[in-house]
Chains A and B, each alone.
Chain A
Amino acid sequence: MIAAILRAQFLSLRLRAGARRPSTAFAALTGLIYYGFWAFFAFGMTMLFSIATTEANILAELSTALLVATLYWQLAPLLTASFGASLDLGKLLAYPIPASTFFTIEVLLRLTTGVEMLLVLTGISAGLLRNPRYGVRAAPDVICGALLFAAMNVFTSAGARRVVERWFRTSRWKELAFLVFIAITVAPQILVRTHVPKAALLRFAPSQIFWPWAAAGHLMVGDRTLVAAVTALVWLGAAWWFSRRQFFHSLRFDASEYQRPERERRGKSLLERVFALPSRFLPDPMAALAEKEMRMLSRISRVRVVFVMSCVFGLILFLPAITGKRHAPGNFAQNALPIMAVYGLLMLSQLTFWNCFGFDRSAVMGYFCWPIPLRQVFIAKNVTVALMLLPQIGIVWGISALVRLPASPGKFLEAVVVMIAAALYWFGLGNIASVRLPHALDPDKMNQMSGKMQALTVWSAPLLLLPIVLAYVARAVFHSQLAFVGVMAIALALGGVFYYVCLDSAVQTASRRREAILNELSRSEGPISIA
């Protein structure tokens, strides 16, 4: 049965993968580079743990490494709002398949989100085996500890995924809760900066054996083996119980029970006035298209979550680097606002301009049937994203002012200009990508960006941002704001030309490929949903 499900999945992916070989090869190359990086990092771990040093040092380093691996394994999917492959239970529940079989496949699929950490774990294990203190004779302990560690994380990840997915579909406060999750990632830094006594921190330090990663670490180096093994097994049992319970809870879950009753809107609410804004400065049908787009995107939880993340994530990521030097803000701090604004735009990319018809799905045929030029559809969609970015910059600006980053009105204006410039290049290429690589997005699922999209994002970002970067280089080299303005003006002009040319190309491609676009956006996935 498991083989049948996996075969169905393989067959459903086969045509998609072979459809456009150059872009598939490109995505494969990017994947190779990405995992190559992690393999290199794993090699670094091998070298680190090969060094003959005291057992106390090894234990401390090992516990810290395994703690970081655990955090990455569990939190990375949350932070990127994507959980990789999972069983599409809606398609499979009608068949007489034992629930335990589903659970087995689900757990195996969780390995797909932990490939990086499995590489790192392999590197660490190889390092311990090469270490003169342990050597090959320690292989049973090392392998056993590594397997237990991997199993704990796989089960925990499987359970966490189902919890978050259910809660994502029912909770009114998901945006706020995601902020809390993100804040957890900076908790260690906050603890250090708030001068919590070291002794208090050390009592709960990552190397204490009662922690699951530390128990696995102690097991791997053969220290207090019995206690470590029992502790690890208890944690493994808890993780298994958690994942199995959450999975079976999902089998009985019906999201429609949690649908909010319809609200009667009296008069013109604030949101309605915001939606009506495009009509004030754009003619129909562009205004109608922009209004429709704003309504739709604002009602998709996934977009709201990513929008909130785009407002704060950059700040959280860059805050330590920015606040490191207190006396004189360096270059990075001086330009933090434009950097975070562009980072926010990047976060919104996969749900908006890289795949602008994703949420429309089969309704996209309307754009080919209604008497409207396709050009206006693209422009309206781009304008909508641009309008979303203004409050985003405002929020980032406000938060930056609160934490005393350089955030003058001039900096705000600079961030807006940089955002517009970046948007011109990204929207241009995004419009082409939307008609060349369209794929349907399920608003209720938190899935991973397709490999091709990831490749496109990674490879295009340095190139497209080059004109903007050159403006900052000009400012730094010539110590002149005028140089910055001059180069930025050229970047904007070039961006306008680039956008116009790409728009033309996208419109022609969409007309030529309309049948393929409709087919791609109407395609349903195999028994395992990936993207």
Chain B
Amino acid sequence: MTDSGPAIVVTDLRKVYGLKAAVDGLNLTVPRGSFFGFLGPNGAGKSTTIRMLTGLIPPTSGSIELLGMRMPGDELEIKRRIGLVPDESMLFDRLTGLEFLEFVGRMYSLERGMARHRAEELLEVFELSGEKRKLISEYSKGMRKRLAMAASLIHNPELFLMDEPFEGVDAVGARLMKDMLLDLVRRGATIFLTSHVLEVVERLCDHVAIINQGRIVAEGRMEDIRAGSETLEDVFVRTVGADREYGKLEWLTEARHGI
């Protein structure tokens, strides 16, 4: 394993379900220390890609290297060094926030005392201290996302894989999370995230890749991707969906009586 190479290297990655390729020959390199945005329309293959990177699902073909180590051969060591915020909840509803964080800390081989201490601190930072003894089942969607992010940090990983981390989070919580992520990148961590909120990606990320129908259609540094005065949204729509036609729903657009 090397500490100077790219954080993520994906070579010719494919995932086929029946006759459909959800990911179709993906090639991707994520530099270490970068804030990497992975964008795509619905059903493009973003979540499938992240699930393959984390080892949740095996690829049909292709190779994955994280932090210089191959998946699945060095799976256990890789998992020790990455933090994950999945799209779907990885939380145990019948534990309190504090219990869950302490539990996750111990999953990453932290001693009980240290896990508890870090859990308390993380809850403080993510403004969940007031809810630390409430069961997670009583948390709102935004609180659950913040807790999931706190859990991804407890073992101080080098690489973060985040699938829609800001979904359902209010502006205050999102600001908190963004500031934290920027700080992590400044200290040398690598962040790989997917998001539908292009303004956030544009503000935070220094590298971006756009996936459509299982393939990368654009990739590079943020300033290189945006040509001239184009926004990221302009680039995104142009590369994936500008010429999409939609049917005219006459029954929906008809003027109502009296209006």
- Listed in ascending order, the chain A residues whose CB lies under 8 Å from chain B are 259, 262-265, 279, 284-285, 287-288, 291-292, 295-296, 299-300, 359-360, 362-363, 365-366, 368-373, 443, 514-515, 518, 522
What 0/1 readout, one digit per residue, does chain B (92-104) give for beta carbons within 8 Å of chain A? 1111000100011
Is the pair B88, A362 in contact by a Cβ cutoff of 8 Å? yes
Given contacts A295-B94, A295-B99, contact A369 B79 (CB under 8 A): yes
What 0/1 readout, one digit per residue, does chain B (61-92) give for beta carbons within 8 Å of chain A? 00000000000000011011000101011111
Is the pair A288, B103 in contact by a Cβ cutoff of 8 Å? yes
Q: What residues of chain A lie closer than 8 Å to B16, measured between beta carbons? A: none
Is the pair A363, B91 in contact by a Cβ cutoff of 8 Å? yes
Given contacts A265-B133, A368-B56, contact A284 B106 (CB under 8 A): yes
Q: What residues of chain A lie closer than 8 Å to B140, measured between beta carbons? A: none
Cβ distance B228 to chain A, nearest Cβ, rounded Å: 41
Within 8 A of A (CB), among B38-56: 54-56
Q: What residues of chain A lie closer than 8 Å to B135, measured between beta carbons? A: 299
Stretch at the interface among B107-115, B120-128, B202-210: B107-115
Is the pair A363, B92 in contact by a Cβ cutoff of 8 Å? yes
Is the pair A363, B112 in contact by a Cβ cutoff of 8 Å? no
Nearest chain A residue, comparing its CB with the CB of B134 = A262
Across the interface, A522 reaches (CB within 8 A) one of B88, B91, B99, B112, namely B88
Q: What residues of chain B lie closer than 8 Å to A288, measured between beta carbons? A: 103, 106-107
Nearest chain A residue, comparing its CB with the CB of B152 = A369
Nearest chain A residue, comparing its CB with the CB of B83 = A369
Is the pair A300, B94 in contact by a Cβ cutoff of 8 Å? yes
Nearest chain B residue, comparing its CB with the CB of A514 = B56
Cβ distance B90 to chain A, nearest Cβ, rounded Å: 5
Is the pair B107, A371 in contact by a Cβ cutoff of 8 Å? yes
* B227 at the binding interface (Cβ < 8 Å): no
Most B CB within 10 A of own CB, among A279, A371, A514:
A371
Nearest chain B residue, comparing its CB with the CB of A515 = B57
Most B CB within 10 A of own CB, among A288, A373, A518:
A288
Given contacts A362-B90, A514-B56, A515-B56, contact A259 B138 (CB under 8 A): yes
Nearest chain B residue, comparing its CB with the CB of A284 = B106
Across the interface, A363 reaches (CB within 8 A) one of B55, B57, B90, namely B90
Given contacts A279-B112, A515-B57, contact A371 B80 (CB under 8 A): yes
Q: What residues of chain A lie closer than 8 Å to B54, measured between beta carbons? A: 368-369
Nearest chain B residue, comparing its CB with the CB of A516 = B57
Q: What residues of chain A lie closer than 8 Å to B80, measured between beta carbons? A: 371
Cβ distance B114 to chain A, nearest Cβ, rounded Å: 11
Q: How far is the CA of A265 from the CA of B133 in the complex (A)?
A: 9
Q: What residues of chain A lie closer than 8 Å to B95, measured between beta carbons? A: 292, 295-296
Cβ distance B82 to chain A, nearest Cβ, rounded Å: 8
Q: What residues of chain B lie closer than 8 Å to A362, measured between beta carbons? A: 88-90
Is the pair A371, B56 in contact by a Cβ cutoff of 8 Å? no
Nearest chain A residue, comparing its CB with the CB of B130 = A262
A sample of 28 cross-chain residue pairs with beta-carbon separation below 8 angstroms, ordered by A number, consists of A259-B138, A262-B133, A263-B133, A264-B133, A288-B106, A288-B107, A291-B103, A292-B103, A296-B94, A299-B94, A362-B89, A362-B90, A363-B92, A368-B55, A369-B54, A369-B56, A369-B86, A370-B79, A370-B107, A370-B108, A371-B77, A371-B79, A371-B109, A372-B107, A514-B56, A515-B56, A515-B57, A515-B58
Cβ distance B97 to chain A, nearest Cβ, rounded Å: 11
Is the pair A285, B106 in contact by a Cβ cutoff of 8 Å? yes
Within 8 A of A (CB), among B12-62: 54-58
Nearest chain A residue, comparing its CB with the CB of B75 = A371
Cβ distance A514 to chain B, nearest Cβ, rounded Å: 6
Q: How far is the CA of A291 from the CA of B103 in the complex (A)?
A: 9
Q: How far is the CA of A285 from the CA of B102 in the complex (A)?
A: 12
Nearest chain B residue, comparing its CB with the CB of A372 = B107
Is the pair A365, B107 in contact by a Cβ cutoff of 8 Å? no
Q: What residues of chain B lie closer than 8 Å to A300, measured between beta carbons? A: 94
Given contacts A285-B107, A288-B106, A299-B135, contact A369 B90 (CB under 8 A): yes
Q: What residues of chain A lie closer than 8 Å to B77, measured between beta carbons? A: 371
Nearest chain B residue, comparing its CB with the CB of A299 = B94
Having A285-B106, A296-B95, A365-B56, one finds 17 other A-B pairs with CB under 8 Å, namely A284-B106, A285-B109, A287-B106, A292-B95, A296-B92, A359-B94, A362-B89, A363-B92, A363-B93, A366-B90, A366-B104, A368-B54, A369-B86, A370-B104, A371-B79, A443-B94, A515-B57
Q: What residues of chain B lie closer than 8 Å to A360, measured between beta carbons? A: 92
Q: What residues of chain A lie closer than 8 Å to B106, measured between beta carbons? A: 284-285, 287-288
Q: How far is the CA of A1 from the CA of B234 in the complex (A)?
A: 45
Within 8 A of A (CB), among B206-254: none
Q: What residues of chain B lie closer than 8 Å to A287, measured between beta carbons? A: 106
Is the pair B109, A284 in contact by a Cβ cutoff of 8 Å? yes
Most B CB within 10 A of own CB, among A299, A300, A373, A522:
A299
Nearest chain A residue, comparing its CB with the CB of B79 = A371
Most B CB within 10 A of own CB, among A285, A300, A365:
A365
Q: What residues of chain A lie closer than 8 Å to B94, measured between beta carbons? A: 295-296, 299-300, 359, 443
Q: How far is the CA of A291 from the CA of B57 in the complex (A)?
A: 28
Closest 8 CB pairs of A and B: A288-B106, A371-B79, A370-B107, A296-B94, A371-B80, A299-B94, A515-B57, A366-B90
Q: How far is the CA of A468 from the CA of B243 in the complex (A)?
A: 71
Q: What residues of chain B lie closer than 8 Å to A295, measured between beta carbons? A: 94-95, 99
Q: What residues of chain A lie closer than 8 Å to B89, measured between beta carbons? A: 362-363
Q: How far is the CA of A371 from the CA of B54 in the complex (A)?
A: 11
Q: What residues of chain B lie closer than 8 Å to A262, measured between beta carbons? A: 133-134
Cβ distance A178 to chain B, nearest Cβ, rounded Å: 20
Q: How far is the CA of A515 from the CA of B134 in the complex (A)?
A: 31
Cβ distance B49 to chain A, nearest Cβ, rounded Å: 14
Q: What residues of chain A lie closer than 8 Å to B99, measured between beta carbons? A: 292, 295
Q: How far is the CA of A363 from the CA of B93 in the complex (A)?
A: 9
Cβ distance A282 to chain B, nearest Cβ, rounded Å: 12
Q: What residues of chain B lie closer than 8 Å to A522, measured between beta carbons? A: 88
Cβ distance A345 to chain B, nearest Cβ, rounded Å: 22
